Structure 1
Amino acid sequence: MYQQPPPAIGEAQGIALATDETTCVFGEDVAFGGVFRATAGLREQYGPERVFNTPISEQGIVGMAIGMAALGHTAIGEIQFADYTFPGIDQIINEASKFRYRSGGQFNAGKMTIRTPCQAVGHGAHYHSQSVEQFFMPIPGINVVMPRSPIQAKGLLLSAVRSPDPTVVMEPKILYRSSVEQVPVDDYTIPIGQADILRKGSDITLISWGAPLYSCMQAIDLLAGNGISESMEKHIPKELRNASVELIDLQSILPWDRETIVNSVKKTGRCVIVCEAPMTGNVGAEISAEIQKQAFLHLEAPIKRIAGLDTPFPHIGELFYKPDALRVLDGMMETLKY
């Protein structure tokens, strides 16, 4: 099924291997290219001592990455699916994130990067489709990023590899095949902790990250009346079709760009936050709390959150679980009409 590698991710790892002789890439099936072909060709180019398979042990992968980073190596470990970061989460939270702090700066695991595919792909069910970024958001000492496209994937991964802090890179797996861009072949980075304003607007702020951003883009087009049927057209009030929507890709979950988000909501007075994770305790809840704290007097409507359901990810009916363009459209209209 997966014949071609995601070039941007492979290129980023290739650059890391080529520019730093201490870099190693490892994980389950990594030597063979990985289940999503994200490491295809790297073993052949850089050798089995630097690109190699590990046992099926996520705790072992993370533990080895911490040890290698502590000894000065640049360690890029792959967890085959984000759902399986949980067996290694103790190592990330209790070891990698605290290593510098507990040693008074004598040691650190800052040269550790964990890559992992995340979010739904259409047929992954409850062990291969989860959004897990919210579990890492409250952990001081690590970075967590999630690219939306190949350009961001390459730039953020190279930033993660070169960051002085341990970093978890969550790659929305459905974008491996559906997102196509002309990616610069150069060595470049995208700053961690900086949101990206994809569309500027003045009436409502729409915030998301990863794959749901594309549902948000579709919803903006629907709100403007583009590509809708006559039956749908009557459900969108004419006065809302000229609404100016500001779309923001959070891009970095930890640290996250409070300034950009708050300034946008102060300008628009309305906010909708969209993510795939279950509603309770997701990243949108933390964003909502910060907006409430810093922009309360600017709000013209309650902050609207659109998310997955508070259930395990389903075996069937994934499209009903994920926030689609119609759910986002309904959320924007409700907020604009308030």
Structure 2
Amino acid sequence: MELDEVTLEIPNPQTINENSNDTDTSSEVTLFYNDTKAMHLEFLIDPDSNKPCMRLKFLEEPIHDIRLTTKQIFSDGRTNIIDVEEIPLDRMIGDDEQLYIRKNSMEKLEPGSDFRFACDIRLTKADKTLLSRFSSSTVERISEIANDQKFLDFTIKFKDAKELKVLKFILASKSPVFLKIFTTDMLESRRNEIFIPDVDYEVMKIAVNFMYNGGVQNLEYHIFDVLIVADKYDIAELKRYCEIEVAKGLTPQIIADVLIFADRYNAALLKERSIQYIQRNWNAIKGLEEFECIYTYSNLILDIFETFSIGDCPIKSVISNL
């Protein structure tokens, strides 16, 4: 269900530098859904890179995705589309995000100064998960059944001899990996049990509870291990939730380790946010001893500087040291 469509315009920074009367370097709007503030957007020229970027502030209504179409609008009415990006943004309410036009897209700029930048924004309301479509009483009933031993039809066993009894239909609905385990002629399916030696009981319990009702408890103590489990068993909603939570706590001291972790476990959103964090805080990060380990990962170095122009960051000297 579409929330809204809006176009924001800002002047070409070159015309501003030429002392034009057009000095308004940003344009902003607050979008509503059913009289509820959904998102505040500001389209502006970043003062450090002199490139267009979109600053997003999530308010009271969660957003599922956003489509940004950035273009040049010339004085004669012509348009030149620079960048079209579909961004999944099933994020927590209150998140902030700053999105930059990608470097390869900036190469599509037509020469001249008689144009304005414009960005068409289309938002789509968040999809509801299976359980969130149920009434609260139904969710409570499912939780009751999930804790009633006579209904539990599958057992997960751990190396410390602990066991977790679960409902197959819930796990199958949330995890394609568990669905395959339950529906193929495997030993685990015939015995209705599986031994998982590389996952702790508490970590799997968090993942299972999330699949039951979408809630999490004690996640802060196990968040990286839970993300690994979510990746291994393809629990997409849980994985995304963990990525968002980790990204909220990024600091210069841990950013290298987080980026390496995100790359290793295919955490695309966390990797994207980590790279953006590094780009925004490069001067504070580049000399840290904790960041030096990143230089052994040439693929990550290239990812970090892909959207930087040579003037923004010493890419040549960095790559020459790889």
**Whose strand fraction is larger, Structure 1's or Structure 2's?**
2
TM-score category by the smaller chain?
under 0.3
Q: What's the TM-score, normalizing by structure 1?
A: 0.26
Q: Which has the higher contact order (CA 8 A, sep 6+)?
A: 1
Choose 1 or 2 for highest CA Rg. Answer: 2
**TM-score, with normalisation over the residues of structure 2?**
0.27
